[in-house]
């Protein structure tokens, strides 16, 4: 089928009409987009790039992450962003940089507070209530991926669930007291850690912590520490200087790490739970009479310690379940531990203390 050519004057008129129909440069295409752009515009001045150099010998290359002002002189970020760094600086949205010091840290949920010197926050962010985070709602990530300031990614809250990725955030006990995390499909890259995860109203619903499945958006999911945990941590750190979650004072070993024959000989039919390996002097565990394992001079297990199988009546699978159940409580709270000792099940009541 043949078509006839369009006359030149009609072509020009049609092109002009199409151009007039497009939004002008700098405009947005609808009310929803305009609202989102305004939310981001208002939030960005509160977001900072954090930079420092490693304290270890030969560590000269700058390391960076993100953070945000929650008050006029203080910034919240991840502990793993600032861990082991010196000469900390924060760079504001407009490019000005100021020195900063670590005010307090909460390794258990991977949070740190920085105090900024010589600058007042150009803006601050507020936190959303815990019960207002739902799968499918808008998720906005702000920060400094790859060290590039003031970048934005957009997605949804993909869900929330237990934090099963301890060990990805740093050494030792970093992140072990995070009971649950938020997932988002908004793009998260190296350098976004410590930055805010916002809802559609510009409220903080989480602090970006890591990316699962690889960076650069290749099948990755961003994970964030929920806002309610961060708010509680900030309150405790500002008032007491240290976290105020419950602490048991015992080192634990998963039953799955022990010889199955040893467990069967002790009368245990399941590998769910964790063994008390060492009881720290002066700890709540010692006061409650918990018994640690006995080992020979080479560290080989000779006799099982108490095996914790439930906390507050709730069955636990491993040592992280126990740590998190204890951390849900406050210093001074009493909690009942269901333990297995010498072939019988016992209930032990422990009065918790603050982590040292």
Mind telling me the catalytic residues? 80, 110, 193
Q: Looking at the DSSP assignment, which residues form a beta bridge with residue 113?
A: 76, 104
> Over the chain, what HEC string results?
CCCCCCCHHHHHHHHHHHHHHCCCCCCCCCHHHHHHHHHHHHHHHHEEEEEEEECCCCCCCCEEEEEEECCCCEEEECHHHHCCEEEEEEECCCCCEEEEEEEEEEHHHCEEEEEECCCCCCCCCCECCHHHCCCCCEEEEEECHHHCCCEEEEEEEEEEEECCCCCCCCCCCCCCCCCEEEEECCCCCCCCCCCEEECCCCCEEEEEEEEECCCCCCCCEEEEEEHHHHHHHHHHHHHHCCCCCEECCEEEEEHHHCCHHHHHHCCCCCCCCEEEEEECCCCHHHHCCCCCCEECCCCCEEECCCEEEEECCEECCCHHHHHHHHHCCCCCCEEEEEEEECCEEEEEEEECEECC
- Cβ neighbors of 265 (< 8 A, separation 6 or more) are none
Q: Would strands 274-279 and 250-254 be described as parallel, antiparallel, or unpaired?
A: antiparallel
- What does the alpha-carbon distance between residue 138 and residue 184 come to, in Å, rounded to a whole number? 9
- What does the alpha-carbon distance between residue 194 and residue 138 come to, in Å, rounded to a whole number? 19
- What does the alpha-carbon distance between residue 203 and residue 198 come to, in Å, rounded to a whole number? 5
Q: Are 77 and 114 in contact (CB under 8 A)?
A: yes
């Amino acid at each position: 089928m043949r078509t006839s050519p369009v006359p030149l004057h009609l072509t020009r008129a049609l092109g002009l009409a199409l151009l007039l129909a497009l939004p002008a440069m700098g405009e947005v295409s609808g009310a929803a987009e305009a609202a989102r752009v305004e939310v981001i515009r208002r939030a960005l001045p509160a977001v900072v790039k954090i930079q420092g150099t490693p304290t270890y010998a030969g560590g000269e290359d700058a390391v960076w992450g993100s953070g945000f002002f929650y008050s006029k002189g203080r910034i919240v970020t991840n502990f793993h962003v600032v861990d082991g760094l010196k000469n900390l600086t924060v760079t504001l949205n407009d490019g000005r940089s100021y020195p900063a010091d670590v005010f307090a840290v909460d390794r258990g949920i991977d949070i740190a507070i920085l105090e900024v010197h010589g600058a007042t926050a150009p803006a601050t962010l507020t936190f959303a209530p815990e019960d207002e985070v739902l799968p499918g709602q808008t998720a906005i990530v702000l920060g400094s991926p790859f060290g590039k300031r003031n970048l934005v990614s957009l997605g949804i809250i993909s869900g929330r669930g237990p934090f099963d990725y301890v060990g990805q955030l740093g050494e030792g006990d970093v992140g072990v007291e995070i009971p649950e995390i938020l997932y988002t499909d908004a793009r998260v890259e190296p350098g976004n850690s410590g930055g805010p995860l916002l809802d559609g109203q510009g409220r903080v619903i989480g602090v970006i912590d890591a990316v699962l499945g690889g960076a650069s958006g290749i099948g990755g999911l961003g994970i964030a520490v929920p806002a309610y945990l961060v708010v509680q941590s900030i309150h405790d750190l500002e008032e007491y200087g240290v976290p105020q979650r419950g602490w048991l004072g015992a080192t634990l070993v998963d039953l799955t790490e022990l010889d199955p024959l040893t467990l069967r000989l002790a009368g245990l039919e399941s590998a769910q739970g964790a063994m008390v390996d060492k009881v720290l002097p002066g700890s709540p565990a010692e006061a409650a009479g918990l018994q640690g394992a006995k080992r020979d001079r080479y560290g080989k297990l000779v006799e099982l310690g108490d095996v914790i199988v439930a906390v507050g009546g709730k069955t636990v699978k491993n040592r992280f379940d126990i740590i998190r159940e204890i951390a849900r409580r406050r210093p001074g709270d009493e909690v009942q531990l269901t333990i297995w000792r010498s072939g019988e099940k016992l209930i032990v009541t422990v009065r918790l203390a603050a982590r040292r």
